[in-house]
Chains A and B, each alone.
Chain A
Amino acid sequence: MSTIRYDKIRTVETGFNSAALNMAIDEALIESVSEVPILRIYGWRPAAVSIGYFQSMNEEVDVPKCREVGVDIVRRLTGGGAVLHENELTYSFISRRYPQNIVESYKWICDAIVISINRLGFDASFVPLNDIVIAGKKVSGNAQTRRKGVLLQHGTILLDVNVNKMFSVLKVPSEKLRGKIIKDVKERVTSLAGTTYDDMATSLKTSFAVKFEAKLIADTLSIEEISRARWLTERKYSNKEWNFRR
């Protein structure tokens, strides 16, 4: 197991933003991160569906329905499945130093997430490759990418869950099985109901400091990071070429 420790972690709380800007900020931070890793905490407004890097937007998402109900859509830089982002806290952890083994690196970061959830009175645990569960039900999904020597892992921590709404905007492989799929997901997913976004954010920051024995440095995005994120929003994450590339 990794013994990597950090002296400092830069924490950046970027509030609630559109899907395109949220993914653009993540990419901007991959480019700008120094030897000091970054813990970013954020939410989504409006609600949004993100799909995995390898997914097909039209196969996974009811795009007209999303437009009708005002749900953003975006393709992530990371693999994994489609997610409806609403009533959750999302984090990103970006670092130049990390375990090279992929399974180990997921555990390394997810351990901090588990600690943060359990500090709030829950009994969560990590399930490889990338899930965190409570009583066998998923409460957090996580995904990572590695680019130019930088690891980014982002993930959601569900504060509430509305499976019916999720499947009003996500397609299912078989309409015949829609009812069964929704029932299955309801049985496999849970949330930290009763926990506020602010409580979760505070617990998350504390837990990263404890896990990595690091001092937290509260910060904001730099002018250069904001500028780069805006450029990426306009030129990449808002564009069909990116979002519908598969």
Chain B
Amino acid sequence: MRKAHNIYKSEKLIRIMLEYDEIKNTISSITISGDFFLYPEEALEILEANLVGKRLEKETLKQEIDNFLKGIEVYGFNSTSLTEAIVGCRT
């Protein structure tokens, strides 16, 4: 298990705290924080839970985030920037 951290500047600042399985290349736990707005607020925890177990690669994550954002209003990031922020933890 490996811990990683990334700060990514989208329209707002996104901070990612990540634990991932290096061998399987999957997310073990993730916390997304920052000065963005997201309605309803509680939905972010659902996204974080949904990302656990997902492969740490752009296509998988972007698809998951795109699906999540369908019922959500976000100001400060989009699926592309959030995906970049998460994948950026590995580099």
Q: Does A206 make an interface contact (CB < 8 A)?
A: no
Q: A59-B15, A173-B13, A246-B31 are in contact. Are A79 and B7 (CB under 8 A)?
A: no
B53 at the interface (CB under 8 A from A): no
Residues of A within 8 A of B38 (CB): 54, 79
A145–B15 Cα gap in the complex (Å)? 21
Q: Is A79's CB under 8 angstroms from B13's CB?
A: no
The smallest beta-carbon distance between B90 and chain A, in angstroms, is: 19
- Residues of B near A82 (CB, < 8 A) are 35
Residue count of chain A within 8 Å CB distance of chain B: 20
| Residues from 38 to 60 in B contacting A, C-beta threshold 8 Å | 38-41, 44
Q: Does A80 contact B33, Cβ atoms closer than 8 Å?
A: no
Q: When the two chains form their complex, are residues A54 and B33 in contact, meaning their CB atoms are under 8 A apart?
A: yes
Q: If A59-B33, A173-B7 touch, does A54 touch B44 (CB 8 Å cutoff)? A: yes
A17 adjacent to chain B (CB < 8 Å): no
How far is A143 from B17 in the complex, measured between Cα atoms in Å? 25
**What total of A-B pairs shows CB separation below 8 Å?**
49
Residue of B nearest to A129 (CB): B75
Instruction: Type the 1/0 row for A135-146, where 1 means its CB is closer than 8 Å to any CB of B.
Output: 000000001011
30 residue pairs of the A-B complex, CB under 8 angstroms, read A52-B34, A52-B35, A53-B41, A54-B33, A54-B35, A54-B36, A54-B44, A55-B33, A55-B35, A56-B33, A59-B15, A59-B33, A78-B37, A79-B35, A79-B38, A79-B76, A80-B35, A80-B37, A81-B12, A81-B35, A82-B35, A102-B39, A102-B73, A129-B75, A145-B39, A145-B41, A146-B39, A173-B13, A246-B31, A246-B33
Closest 7 CB pairs of A and B: A81-B35, A79-B37, A56-B33, A246-B33, A53-B41, A52-B35, A173-B7
Q: A53-B41, A55-B33, A143-B37 are in contact. List 10 more A-B contacts (CB 8 A).
A: A54-B34, A55-B34, A77-B41, A78-B37, A80-B37, A102-B73, A102-B75, A145-B41, A146-B39, A246-B33
Binding site for A on B (CB under 8 A): 7, 12-13, 15, 17, 31-41, 44, 73, 75-76
